[in-house]
Structure 1
Amino acid sequence: MKFPLILLGILIETCVCTRAECSESTFKAILASVPESSLNYVAHVPANGSFGDAASNVPFPQNATMLPELCAASVNMKTSQNTSYDFGVFLPAHWNARFMMTGNGGLGGGINWLDMGLNQPEKLINWGYRAIHGSATAAKTIIGAYYMGDIQYSYYASCSTGGRQGLKEIQLHPETFDGVVVGAPAWWTTHLQTWTLKQGLTNFPDAGPGHIPESLFSTITDDMLHQCDTQDGLLDQVIGDPLACNFDFNQLLCQPNQNKSACLTAAQIGTAEKLYRPYLDPSQNQLFPGISLGSNAAALSTQPTGLGIDFLRYWVFNDSNWDFTQFKIGDVALADAVNPGNATADNFDLSPFLERGGKLIHYHGLADPLRAAESSQHFYNQVYRTLAPRGVQIDDFYRFFFIPGMSHCMGSDVAPWYIGGGTQFVPGISHSVPGFMDRQHDVILAIMAWVEKGDMPDQIIATKFRNDTDPQHIASQRPICSYPRQARYDGWAEPGQPSSWKCLL
């Protein structure tokens, strides 16, 4: 089973013009020094060209476009007799001596869980952490040989599963990257996937009188917006701080003679509360946070997703006949014990990464329906509680940002959300933020400025383009603030201008 990854070299400032020929013979010669590697293909891409494998790439079904002139190569790394992973490299004609890597989304690489088979731990290890580290190590060898020069700085940027991969790498191998940007990381793998299953079962059609039909989802989210919107000083269809909103579920309760299509019964309110509140064990310890108030209707689901079902069925229980409706709270402890692929990124002692000068930017959308935003807050808090008692100033190497109104990794109907992060996509944008290619607006440039110049990012200005499709027209911009500060509207200026907002505690 192969796990494709993508690695990118990007042009920012410097031109390193000495390079090898973009040919099979070049790469086969280079890979002779990389154990267990073989070349899949190599291709030259002209300036403004496109490249990818969209037709066969399930999680990334679009080719990269508007590329600079570059050499593209794909490499296979063998990890056992019948397992391997693929990674790709983009090698620009004009290189700036930087290395940039990105990771996967979802389950990575378009993997079909059913086709993976059972009892194949080597494949799980590839997925859990080995493919990322092996790809980074091999790619650095390729880059150094291709350009006949040294990499000056190494970076990583990705979201979701890619966020988990980045955190896992700096925990296991703090020397790999100088700067890391992770969005909505799926770091707590064993609890995230069991929570995903529990969420679907909570509102399963067989849940009885407490079942909430899809027709009522918007009733719930609309009322959350009604109760929580103005707490940031502006009525704008964006909940700036859902964690601080004292939402009253009772306001959803059906009154006598009220149309039942626009309200909830007492039993349904009980179900809604379970979906938005933390998942607790019998001792009231938190197993996973609840979803944020105002997260879109996808968070309410009436069915468990395959992510949770198959994680337990194939990777924890190793039983293709396991019945997901029999899930019980003790299965979380079993998942922890098995920890498939050792994927959970829960080593909160990031001091080795700090000590070698590493910098970490971490962000999460507050309207994320797939990864509870508070799971990122929990990760930050655990790092803080691990290192602060030793006298470590966390802000010196780790900045965390909530992005109000943003869904999973990207997107919002109304809120500014685009910061040029890993997996963020707006048609017509090949990189950075058009018109604002600077560290104040682009999270990749922000991590570079922090690593290379010591410019710490207190805030990053998020952008909302018109209809999320027109990069030539900006609908609004707003600062997102390093945690625990939050953006507050000044009450009188144009709300679409970032200067109208201040980052305050």
Structure 2
Amino acid sequence: MTARLFHAFCLATVCATLGTLSSVGIGAHRAVGAPAVAAAAQGDACAAVMGADLGLPHTTITVAEEITPPFAPPETFSSRGFTVEDVSFCRVAGLASPEAGSEIRFEVWLPPADDWNGRFQGIGSGGSAGAIRYRQLAAAVAGGYAAVATDNGHTSTSGFDGSWSLGHPVRLVDFGYRAQHEATVAGKAVARAYYGRDADFSYFVGCSQGGHHALMEAQRYPEDYDGIVAGAPANHWIGLMTAELWAGLATTRDPEQDLPRAKLPVLGAAVMAACDGLDGLEDELIDDPRNCDFDPGVLQCEGEDAGDCLTAGQVAAARAIYAGPVRPSTGESLFPGYALGSEHFEAPDGLGGWARYWSGITEPGGSTAQFMKYSVFEDPDYDLNRFDFDADWDRANNRSLGNDETLATALNAIDPDLSAFKARGGKLISYHGWADALITGHYAVQYYEDVLAAMGGLEQTTDFYRLFMAPGVAHCRGGPGPDRFDAVAAIERWVEQGEAPDRIIASKVVNGEVRRSRPLCVYPRVARYDGSGSIDDAANFACVNPD
């Protein structure tokens, strides 16, 4: 795989499943064979960063070293067994402490000056953060970018750990927004010191938690980046954590509502039968789940439980997952539910769709369990079954972090007023898979609609911000839909050449072979088959306004 192709794929999907890779071997840049004089000069420039006046009063540079491969970065839960093979670069590590108790670790990786493409890139994290993403740094530097990544203000042993927040409200502020900004400012200063000039363009790329921080950057720090890619963003953090808890409790709180993984293919097939053909094609992709009216009650067993039907309790669980959390006292929706088409699909580990998160479990887990226990209730032994979707929803939003900060103000990136980002000329691309069973695509649309209302409508918004919904695509990547696409190239063309993307071509690759391609269209447009040629070829589809 070439450096550019690896880089595009890795960043468009934010390398969601690269844990099986043991090394990066993408050597289109200066490596072992570099001339000794040039290598020595670059090593001197790298070492000089340590003593340079970076103008960062609360930041300390702890490492500045020239890296010649192979290089094994510090081991974290996301980099275990990872080695950078064919890329030389200057590695700078630092620590920012904007207030007492704040410890924001970051690293900046810089390609040699001759290989630098003039761009600076901020790399988003995933899960609940807690580790510098070395795989993504390696992909970025191999593509010619000066890049920065941060642990978002805490160190964890897993991507879903929440224990770091107990007794440390400052860390929640860092996690929510401050760490990404501090790392960005430091990263730019390091790059300026190393290259002797500012980057021509700055970009931020992230999916999931990285998408959350992408939108936080656009809302809070509009001057940080010229272009931003926000994939499957977890930007309504309180709402998302509540929705995940709701879905987990829907299948565990009442034993009658246990939804076995063996029943998910039955549910998924029924949804596909009801929804697939609504766009004129039966292609195992649901173009827009909002257009489909499906009730899992059609699958309720007429008698005894059987493999091809759902019990009354299982129907109730499915309905709850589709509906999303509500206030029991008023029926008010707190956050959208999961989309039709997210229930089941084949995955290499057998855990596609709800099977990975909401089925076959005994209690809610992952980030939501850790967040509720450590950040909301500040009690590692808190029983999640006690959660009250009236009072405890308010508690989750209003918990004080001091200095007029609450969990909601620190963690939610839901401000629809992006006028400052637009005014500085910033461009923003967001994408979200409709088959995402972790962060519902319904909220991506809801937030975008909020932005449309705040920014004066579709024309005024698409001047700088475009949303691409991806049928059949799961969380960041995966699922039956075409999930490989180059959002990075699209944002660069928009920022640097003024070419706003009307469509982005996505491919479904199986065993190295492209099985299907489709255009991802600017919301609210959708892809429609033109009536001739293969339905697996994007060339035979046009982006049109929905019926």
Q: TM-score, normalised by structure 1?
A: 0.85
Task: Summarize the Cα distance change of 1:62–1:223 in structure 2 as closer, same or farther, 3 Å threshold.
Answer: farther
Quick one: which amino acid aligns to residue 76 of structure 1? L
> Does the CA-based 8 Å contact 1:461-1:477 persist in structure 2?
yes
Q: Distance in 1 between matches of 2:503 and 2:83?
A: 29
1:409-434 C-alpha deviation (Å, 9 max, x unpaired): 1112x321111xxxxxxxxxxxxxxx
Q: Which residue of 1 aligns with 2:73?
A: 53
Quick one: which amino acid aligns to residue 91 of structure 1? L
- 2:515 pairs with 1:475: yes
Residue ranges of structure 1 left out of the alignment (5+ in a row): 1-5, 420-441
Q: Distance in 2 between matches of 1:128 and 1:62?
A: 29
Task: Summarize the Cα distance change of 1:126–1:67 in structure 2 as closer, same or farther, 3 Å threshold.
Answer: farther
Q: Which residue of 2 aligns with 1:328?
A: 388
Q: What is the CA distance between 1:304 and its match in structure 2?
A: 0.9
Q: Which residue of 2 aligns with 1:198?
A: 246
1:8-39 C-alpha deviation (Å, 9 max, x unpaired): xx999xxxx99853566312112664323333
**What is the aligned-residue RMSD (CA, Å)?**
2.7
- 2:415 pairs with 1:347: yes
Q: What is the CA distance between 1:287 and its match in structure 2?
A: 0.7
Q: Which residue of 2 aligns with 1:102?
A: 123
- 2:470 pairs with 1:403: yes
Task: Summarize the Cα distance change of 1:21–1:319 in structure 2 as closer, same or farther, 3 Å threshold.
Answer: same
5 Å matches for 1:145-224? 145-204=193-252, 206-224=253-271
Q: What is the CA distance between 1:80 and its match in structure 2?
A: 4.0
Q: What is the CA distance between 1:489 and its match in structure 2?
A: 2.2
SS at match of 1:261: coil
SS at match of 1:119: coil
Q: What is the CA distance between 1:82 and its match in structure 2?
A: 4.2
Of 156-165 and 90-99, deviating more is: 90-99
Residue identity over aligned pairs, in percent, reads 33
Quick one: which amino acid aligns to residue 191 of structure 1? G
Q: Which residue of 2 aligns with 1:433?
A: none
- The one of 110, 118, 122 equivalent to 2:170 is 122
1:69-116 C-alpha deviation (Å, 9 max, x unpaired): 422222222344443121111211121221111110000024254642
- The one of 96, 103, 120 equivalent to 1:84 is 103
Q: Which residue of 2 aligns with 1:415?
A: 481
Task: Summarize the Cα distance change of 1:156–1:24 in structure 2 as closer, same or farther, 3 Å threshold.
Answer: closer
> Does the CA-based 8 Å contact 1:31-1:142 persist in structure 2?
no
Task: Summarize the Cα distance change of 1:357–1:146 in structure 2 as closer, same or farther, 3 Å threshold.
Answer: same
> Does the CA-based 8 Å contact 1:171-1:347 persist in structure 2?
yes
1:42-84 C-alpha deviation (Å, 9 max, x unpaired): 44345xx565537x22245464756644222222223444431
Q: Distance in 1 between matches of 2:184 and 2:301?
A: 56
Q: Which residue of 2 aligns with 1:139?
A: 187
Q: Which residue of 1 aligns with 2:138?
A: none
Q: Distance in 1 between matches of 2:454 and 2:83?
A: 40
Quick one: which amino acid aligns to residue 306 of structure 2? K
Q: Which residue of 2 aligns with 1:280?
A: 326
Q: Which residue of 2 aligns with 1:26?
A: 48
Quick one: which amino acid aligns to residue 105 of structure 1? G
Q: What is the CA distance between 1:123 and its match in structure 2?
A: 1.3
Q: Which residue of 2 aligns with 1:265?
A: 311
Task: Summarize the Cα distance change of 1:245–1:462 in structure 2 as closer, same or farther, 3 Å threshold.
Answer: same
Q: Distance in 1 between matches of 2:314 and 2:532?
A: 40
Q: What is the CA distance between 1:363 and its match in structure 2?
A: 0.4
- 2:365 pairs with 1:308: no
> Does the CA-based 8 Å contact 1:464-1:475 persist in structure 2?
yes
> Does the CA-based 8 Å contact 2:335-2:443 persist in structure 1?
yes
Q: What is the CA distance between 1:312 and its match in structure 2?
A: 1.7
SS at match of 2:183: helix
Q: TM-score, normalised by structure 2?
A: 0.78
Q: Distance in 2 between matches of 1:65 and 1:501?
A: 40
Q: Distance in 2 between matches of 1:53 and 1:232?
A: 48
> Does the CA-based 8 Å contact 1:228-1:245 persist in structure 2?
yes
Q: Which residue of 1 aligns with 2:425?
A: 357
Q: Which 4+ stretches in 1 moved above 4 angstroms?
A: 17-20, 49-52, 64-68
> Does the CA-based 8 Å contact 1:31-1:38 persist in structure 2?
no
